[in-house]
A and B are shown apart, each in its own frame.
Chain A
Amino acid sequence: MLRQVGGVWFVVGGAIVALVVMSTSLVGAADVEKGKVVFEQCAVCHSLDGSGDYDGPTLKAVIGRKAGSLEEYRYSAAMKRSDVVWDADTLDKYVADPQAFIPGNRMAFAGIADKGERDDLIAFLAAATKDSKSN
């Protein structure tokens, strides 16, 4: 049985027969396209571009933003006093287990256990939520 791990093919269930480094992706690299699929779970409540009538705050320009800082969104007290700034590391911890990272926040989401999926998601978010005005 073949299984892909970080762009490297292994034969599982016995000795490693072949190691082929995929030319299209480096070992451990996040995949923006896969992240877009992961994001479908988030799209229920979050817009990427600041538009629309959503239950969660927009993720436009989320990277570098202080958590709970959008004036137009009514955050939980937990989120406002969290003192978190969103970057790849804090987003990863939050998405892995939202209630463990910021206890008492209002996001109704169980979290994503798979590290690879989280990496893909964060890569997608970084690309898709850039504020065109500030860039």
Chain B
Amino acid sequence: MPTRLREVDLVIVGLGWTGGILAKELSEAGMRVVALERGGMRSTNPDFAIPLIRDELKYAVRNALMQNPARDTLTFRHSPTEPSLPMRQLGSFLPGEGLGGAGVHWNGVTWRWTGIDHAARSYYEERNGKSFIPADMPIQDWPMTYAELEPYYDKFERTAGVSGKAGNIRGAKQPGGNFFEQARDRDYPLPPLEPSYSQTLFNDATAQMGYHPFPRPCANASRAYTNPDGSRLGACVYCGHCERFGCEANAKGSPHITVIPKAMAQPTFELRTHSWVTKVMLDSTKKKAIGVAYTDVSTGQEYEQPAAIVALCAYAINNVHLMLLSGIGTPYDATTQKGIVGKNYCYQPGGGGVTLFFEDKIFNPFMATGAFGIAIDDFHANDQFDRAAMGALGGATITVGQSNGRPIGYRPVPAGTPRWGAEWKKATAKWYLRAMNIGVTASNMPNRYNAYDLDPTYKNVFGQPLLRLTYNFLENDKKVIAYVGQKAAEIARGLKPTSMTGPGALGEYNIVPYQSTHNTGGAIMGTSPGNSALNKYLQSWDVPNVFVVGASAFPHNSAYNPTGPVGALAYWTADAIKKRYRQRPGLMT
């Protein structure tokens, strides 16, 4: 028999970036807030202290900070005609677990999405004509404009300590920044990090070719920084242990050192770790949530936490899973194309990149940060880029980063090298210092068959159906990767490497090797209940006291990483709850 607890104003499911932002903003506004985090407590010291944090086997291979797929995972198939099978080991993407969530183990790339992303359908209809958009591509505009979200992007950049260089301050182009950037009110809070040698080569080569290189904005602090809330960040030491690790120097903008401690200082806030939410409880009308049911996974005790508002702030995949398990909204059916929840799952194709090998250059790849890099946006944010020539919607960024030089995982070798044995060993020793990569990251447009639903066969540790993912790369993705991959190869050839690999063609999606933890959609936002699960405040159309915050709300995926708009939308939603919903609960318009 579950223990029924005392009602609170807001219960938050999952305490990462979005949950942390809501927790801070709304507990400071005087609301009684309980956050339920299914993983454990974490703090920089001792959890991320050196030397133990630099354990590649524990954190990068065995995924110590991630969700345990033996307890909960998803099933996968390429198309509705295939049987689905559970993902028993993490691979393609890495959902985080524990206080801070993915905000602890992320790299820190913090973009503001483009105006084209905000007007995803209307931009292409106007520029390329309605027929340019395939019939099975349910692309749609965001329900708010970039200008509306701008102050919230700014707030998130300042909270997370983003290092970068503005390209456009209130319409005035800024030399050294992103030429194609949307207008921003002011520069980044911190200057860019020191570029690597490979980044300098890329910067000079692309500038000479007439492209517009700029430092990629990143939440790796280029110097010690105190954010507007008084949270302190240290200077990045270029240790190369961001992705899959917590930051030892508090230099990576993360919720566990910023918003979460601020919430925890509030007497009206309570955090419960090891608390696994299994369901949002609805009343008999199914139009109102009365709270959440959860299990303390350290004791097995079940609880019900009544709340006036429920905020789903788990990883994007788990937000959709909880909606489907709880009966919030109508599940999407790809065959009939009826229903909404589960629709427009998108990912982020890579694969068009090239790796360059130089006999005469030393790159020191171990001097790295998760997010620093030099990028060009000429084939993505550039609204003059002729997509008709590419024959596809969207685009791709071309970037030289260097997120790590980890000795187990980072082993670049030229094409034709054996995959194992003495020759491989010799090659990997020779080329470790002498390789650089030019990465191509593409946007991903939705398709009617790329979607989530509940699996009919497989169940999680609580006996609940697993989420089933149906997904594959499509013609549009292949065209973008092929087109922009050639551009990357052209840049690479200009650098005159001894040899180079790639660009590869995009084949079928493979869920086994790691690609990116940029899973979007499933609980999408829009302008009406007919085209979306959530309104512009990320409020469920069907159950208006449920808010679903995170990349699950994106109707498509950009070539940009998702965390910038994820943070901005969390502040946007927190503001709407604070200033409007609290005074007049109900569907906001």
The residues of A with any CB-CB pair to B shorter than 8 Å are: 40-41, 43-45, 53, 55-56, 74, 76, 104, 106, 108-110
Q: Inside 8 A of A45's CB, which chain B residues have their CB?
A: 234, 250
State whether A108 and B232 are in contact (beta carbons under 8 Å apart), knowing that A55-B44, A55-B45 are contacts in the complex. no
Q: Inside 8 A of B44's CB, which chain A residues have their CB?
A: 55
Q: Inside 8 A of B51's CB, which chain A residues have their CB?
A: 76, 104, 106
**Most A-side CB within 10 Å, residue of B43, B235, B239:** B235
User: When the two chains form their complex, are residues A44 and B234 in contact, meaning their CB atoms are under 8 A apart?
Assistant: yes
State whether A110 and B237 are in contact (beta carbons under 8 Å apart), knowing that A44-B232, A45-B250, A55-B45 are contacts in the complex. yes
User: When the two chains form their complex, are residues B234 and A108 in contact, meaning their CB atoms are under 8 A apart?
Assistant: yes
CB distance from A133 to the nearest CB of B (A): 26
Q: Inside 8 A of A41's CB, which chain B residues have their CB?
A: 223-224, 234-235
User: When the two chains form their complex, are residues A74 and B46 in contact, meaning their CB atoms are under 8 A apart?
Assistant: yes
How far, in whole Å, are A110 and B50 apart by their CA atoms in the complex? Answer: 12
User: When the two chains form their complex, are residues A106 and B237 in contact, meaning their CB atoms are under 8 A apart?
Assistant: no
Residue of B nearest to A105 (CB): B50
How far, in whole Å, are A106 and B48 apart by their CA atoms in the complex? Answer: 10
Other 16 A-B pairs with CB < 8 A, given A55-B44, A56-B45, A110-B238: A43-B232, A44-B224, A44-B233, A55-B43, A55-B250, A106-B45, A106-B50, A106-B51, A108-B49, A108-B234, A108-B237, A108-B247, A108-B249, A108-B250, A109-B249, A110-B235
How far, in whole Å, are A45 and B261 apart by their CA atoms in the complex? Answer: 15
How far, in whole Å, are A41 and B234 apart by their CA atoms in the complex? Answer: 6
Q: How many A-B residue pairs have CB under 8 A?
A: 46
CB distance from A98 to the nearest CB of B (A): 10
Q: How many residues of B contact A (CB 8 A)?
A: 21
Q: Within 8 Å of chain A (Cβ to Cβ): is B248?
A: yes
- The secondary-structure label for the interface of chain B is loop
Residue of B nearest to A56 (CB): B45
Q: Inside 8 A of A108's CB, which chain B residues have their CB?
A: 49-50, 234, 237, 239, 247-250
Residue of A nearest to B44 (CB): A55
Q: Inside 8 A of A106's CB, which chain B residues have their CB?
A: 45, 49-51
State whether A44 and B237 are in contact (beta carbons under 8 Å apart), knowing that A55-B44, A55-B45, A74-B46 are contacts in the complex. no
Q: Inside 8 A of B238's CB, which chain A residues have their CB?
A: 110
User: When the two chains form their complex, are residues A44 and B46 in contact, meaning their CB atoms are under 8 A apart?
Assistant: no
User: When the two chains form their complex, are residues A44 and B50 in contact, meaning their CB atoms are under 8 A apart?
Assistant: no
CB distance from A56 to the nearest CB of B (A): 8
How far, in whole Å, are A76 and B235 apart by their CA atoms in the complex? Answer: 21
How far, in whole Å, are A56 and B49 apart by their CA atoms in the complex? Answer: 10
Q: Inside 8 A of B234's CB, which chain A residues have their CB?
A: 41, 44-45, 108-109
Q: Inside 8 A of A104's CB, which chain B residues have their CB?
A: 51
How far, in whole Å, are A41 and B224 apart by their CA atoms in the complex? Answer: 5
Q: Inside 8 A of A56's CB, which chain B residues have their CB?
A: 45
User: When the two chains form their complex, are residues A40 and B237 in contact, meaning their CB atoms are under 8 A apart?
Assistant: no
Q: Mark B202-238, 1 if CB is under 8 A from A, else 0.
A: 0000000000000000000001100000001111011
Residue of B49, B239, B250, B261 touching A44 (CB-CB under 8 A)? B250
Residues from 39 to 57 in B contacting A, C-beta threshold 8 Å: 43-46, 49-51
Q: Inside 8 A of B235's CB, which chain A residues have their CB?
A: 41, 110
Residue of B nearest to A104 (CB): B51
User: When the two chains form their complex, are residues A40 and B50 in contact, meaning their CB atoms are under 8 A apart?
Assistant: no
**Most A-side CB within 10 Å, residue of B45, B46, B261:** B45
5 A-B pairs with least C-beta separation: A108-B248, A108-B249, A44-B234, A55-B45, A110-B237
Q: Mark B21-50, 1 if CB is under 8 A from A, else 0.
A: 000000000000000000000011110011
Residue of A nearest to B224 (CB): A41
How far, in whole Å, are A56 and B237 apart by their CA atoms in the complex? Answer: 16
How far, in whole Å, are A90 and B51 apart by their CA atoms in the complex? Answer: 22
Residue of B nearest to A41 (CB): B224
Residue of B nearest to A52 (CB): B232
Q: Inside 8 A of B250's CB, which chain A residues have their CB?
A: 44-45, 55, 108
CB distance from B561 to the nearest CB of A (A): 24
How far, in whole Å, are A43 and B232 apart by their CA atoms in the complex? Answer: 8
CB distance from A60 to the nearest CB of B (A): 18
Q: Inside 8 A of A76's CB, which chain B residues have their CB?
A: 49, 51
CB distance from A51 to the nearest CB of B (A): 14
How far, in whole Å, are A43 and B249 apart by their CA atoms in the complex? Answer: 12
Q: Inside 8 A of A53's CB, which chain B residues have their CB?
A: 261
Q: Inside 8 A of A43's CB, which chain B residues have their CB?
A: 224, 232
How far, in whole Å, are A106 and B50 apart by their CA atoms in the complex? Answer: 5
Q: Inside 8 A of A55's CB, which chain B residues have their CB?
A: 43-45, 49, 250
